[in-house]
Structure 1
Amino acid sequence: MSAPSKKTLAKSGVKNVVLVDGVRTPFLLSGTTYADLMPHDLARAALQGLLKRTGLPKDAVDYIVYGTVIQEVKTSNVAREAALGAGFSDKTPAHTVTMACISSNQAMTTAVGLIAAGQCDAVVAGGVEFMSDVPIRHSRKMRKTMLSLNKAKTLGARLSLLSPFDLKKCFSNSDCCLNFKCGDVIVTGRDIVSKDNGIRPATMEQMAKLKPAFIKPHGTVTAANSSFLTDGASAVLIMSEEKALAMGYKPKAYLRDFVYVSQDPKDQLLLGPTYATPKVLEKSGLTLNDIDVFEFHEAFAGQIMANLKAMESDWFGQTYMGRKTKVGAPPMEKFNTWGGSLSLGHPFAATGCRLVTTVAHRLQKEGGQYGLVAACAAGGQGHAMVIEAYPQ
């Protein structure tokens, strides 16, 4: 871990925006304990957990933004439904955004924009995904049957297989999950749910027997090296620093520069981190070596390995990115050390808040100053954000 720098990324004339705290529900395999709930039930649970964690007065929130990917038609604006259910003031506006796997990233940066523009002082952002009941236009009973048949083919034992990197991460992350190292899991639902349930330790021999999910017989994506179908929700409290301090909060981190990128989805579908990382570093005036904590979303093991390889390739940097040299890959000792989407799960629209909250916690625990979040999204899009530790 590099020694903290005296440099701060605060900008003259620009409000400091802070992450006060963040929570998430346990991330569960779809079709398990949450199966009979609705998306707004999970989102409500996350919001109530945030209120309990922070002691925030419900009428102190100026705006609520939530992300979701697979929309439940009965509650298309899930942000509003969940906010009312959680007891927020009916005078607090709420809207829902969607941007594939970076939907809650979009919710958070929307919050940052509202605060930076002086429109709000306190915004709650979050995301929810409910894969137990994808709104296929059949009866719920038929939909559950169809999902069960599909999961039987695609889930199975689930740990990373494509590289030693993935196997190491998933085994080490099982302790992280079960011991709540991340500190942002809450209890939700009618049944008491206290931990994630997607970690399934297995041997290399067991994993090697799994068949590829897409390209057969020689494909490399299997149930062992993919993020599993996940139900879960997350929520974060974002405020202006001035407002947070006035209300007696000790923020966890500053939310600094961020970027969104888009590429041709035909051959660069999930390479968003490769493109977004150098752009956000340049915007912040930082280098890769300045970053103490990296949290990248893991869609598939192959997606992570492709990004790391592209970032380490001079040819890719020159041919596709117009750079003189490679981007450079994050050091593995700083990378996703508390668990990633492969081991913890990936409720599409909830993952972004998990990433940001994890960076804030890791910076506090490890004594670093700067963290970087990066994620890919369907359609060839991506996001990256720099996070600065709040002085302790």
Structure 2
Amino acid sequence: MAYIFDSVRTPRAKGKEGGALASMKPDELVSNLITAIAQRTASDIKPDALILGTVGQVGCQGGNIALVSKFRANLPDSTTAFSLNNFCVSGLTAVSQAAAMIDSGQAEAVLAGGVEMMSSVPFMADKADFYTDRSLPLRSRYLLVALAADRLADEQNITRQELDEAALRSQQRTKAAEDSELVASRIPVNGLDREECLHVGTQASLASLEPAFGGAAKYYKEILGKDIDHRHTIAHAPPLSDGAGLVLIGAKDAIDAKPRARIVACAEVGGDPAESLTAGIDAMEKVLERSGLSLNDMDRIEYMEAFAVSIVKFLRDFDVSPDKVNVAGGHLAKGHPLGASGAILLSTLLDTLDVAKGRYGLVVAAGASGIGSAIIVERLGE
């Protein structure tokens, strides 16, 4: 059985030149979090493995960023280190892999999470052939996620007003969470101690914004299959950002500290690539089935706000109280450092469970082209 001894995250910074973390290297962010975990657990951490999710594995994030981070943090030579790319769910997939290593006896203690410095490695900086390869079957060709979101909103008849309401709720909750126990596991880095991307609008200011992604539709029209009503504005898209999240996972007695939670179940799914963002729901349903639990059993849920349509569809289609979901705000307000986001969501979930003194929590994440991941944890209490 795999236990979470701690889960920490950096604040999210603007992913551009001049952002609060832009002067740092990704391995420095990870090293800061490793130091924080060691201090918070009062443990001499000697993990069997370090697993990091990172999407843009070029430049400062290339050369096996997990290995570079191992060296930066002075982890033991015996610690194996590897990096993975599972698009936007990478950080959560890293945690699932770590849990599997613990459960199978391959490791006693693992550090897992993700890092992304979009100020240094912009979106699609790896220039993969996949992004433009027209020899693939039409339904599995890469579609810009913003356009997949617009198409989903159009097909599901999710209105502009619903998108605006989701963005405003995320912003207001993020602001309310600052300086509270809801950010207890967020570690200040480089002088940044809050979410740099946050801007709180109003209903009127959000309603005044124009749709932002229709200009890209011409190139992707063959994949889209039809003209669509573009509804997502920049407020409905998570800001590009820098950030990292890290989780210390181990067997029950592997670390000389009390675990915060146990991992009840994990699920990784491949979904319909043409539907793109709906695989998170597939992963959620799979992990609930594996655990024998229901959404009603969940005291807190972190559902990745991969564009506003995702959270609107979830809250519309499932019988779950909005008061349990993303109570500290979400991606729309804080930003989305691609490979780090899943681990950041898990850290946030543990904080929200602590505040609520809840038992069960769920993280759901989705990525482009039909990628989904979900994890259920049980908080172990005082």
Query: TM-score by structure 2 length?
Result: 0.81
Shift of 1:178: 4.6
Shift in Å, 1:187:
2.3
Name the counterpart of 2:56.
Answer: 70
Measure how far apart 1:131 and its partner are: 0.6
| Contact map agreement 1:69 1:98 (CA 8 A) in 2 | yes
Aligned to 1:210: 209
Separation in 1 of the partners of 2:375 and 2:181? 24
What is the Cα deviation at residue 203 of structure 1?
A: 2.4
The equivalent of 1:133 in structure 2 is 120
Check 1:36–1:165 CA distance in 2 against 1; reply closer, same or farther (3 A cut).
Answer: closer
Aligned length: 332
Question: What is the 5 A alignment of 1:202-281?
Answer: 202-215=201-214, 218-244=229-255, 247=256, 249-266=257-274, 268-281=275-288
1:285-308 Cα shifts (integer Å, max 9, x gaps): 112221211111111111222334
Q: Contact 2:276 / 2:370 at 8 angstroms: preserved in 1? A: yes
Counterpart residue type for residue 358 of structure 2: G
- Which stretches in structure 2 are left out of the alignment for 5+ residues? 128-160, 216-227
Paired with 1:82 and 1:134, the residues of 2 have a C-alpha distance of: 17
Contact 1:171 1:201 in 2 (8 A): yes
In the alignment, what sits opposite 1:285? Answer: 292
The structural deviation recorded for 1:174 is 0.8
- Of all paired residues, the percent bearing the same amino acid is 32
Q: Check 1:200–1:360 CA distance in 2 against 1; reply closer, same or farther (3 A cut).
A: same
The 5 A counterparts of 1:82-231 are: 82-134=69-121, 136=125, 162-179=163-180, 181-189=182-190, 192-215=191-214, 218-231=229-242
Amino acid at match of 1:264: D
In the alignment, structure 1 residue 356 sits paired with structure 2 residue 346:
yes
Q: In 2 relative to 1, CA 37–195 (structure 1 residues): closer, same or farther, beyond 3 Å?
A: same
Task: Note if contact 1:294-1:330 (Cα within 8 Å) is conserved in structure 2.
Answer: no
Per the TM alignment, residue 53 of structure 1 is displaced from its structure 2 partner at its CA by 2.3
In structure 2, relative to structure 1, the CA distance for the partners of 1:163 and 1:106 (3 Å cut) is same
The amino acid that maps onto 1:27 is R
- Does the 8 Å CA contact 1:50/1:237 hold for their aligned counterparts? yes
Amino acid at match of 1:277: M
Aligned to 1:345: 335
2:118 and 2:240 in contact (8 A); partners too: yes
> SS state of the match for residue 26, structure 1?
coil
RMSD across aligned C-alpha pairs, in angstroms?
2.2
Cα offsets for 1:223-262 (capped at 9, x unmatched): 1111100001111111111223xx1x11111111111122
Superposed displacement of residue 49, structure 1 = 2.4
Give CA deviations for 1:54-110 in whole Å, capped at 9, x if unaligned: 23314x211111110111345331011011111211221111111011111111111
Query: How far apart, CA to CA, are the structure 2 residues paired with 1:35 and 1:42?
Result: 11
SS in 1 for 2:197: coil
Distance in 1 (alpha carbons) for counterparts of 2:68 and 2:235: 36
1:26–1:186 Cα contact (<8 Å) kept: yes
What CA deviation, in whole Å up to 9, does each residue of 1:123-173 have, x standing for no partner? 1011000111226599xxxxxxxxxxxxxxxxxxxxx97142431232122
Residue 221 of structure 1: CA displacement? 1.1
Give 5+ residue unaligned stretches, structure 1. Answer: 1-15, 139-159, 313-327
Match of 2:377 in 1: 387
What is the distance in 2 between the residues matched to 1:99 and 1:85? 24
Counterpart for residue 310 of structure 2: 303
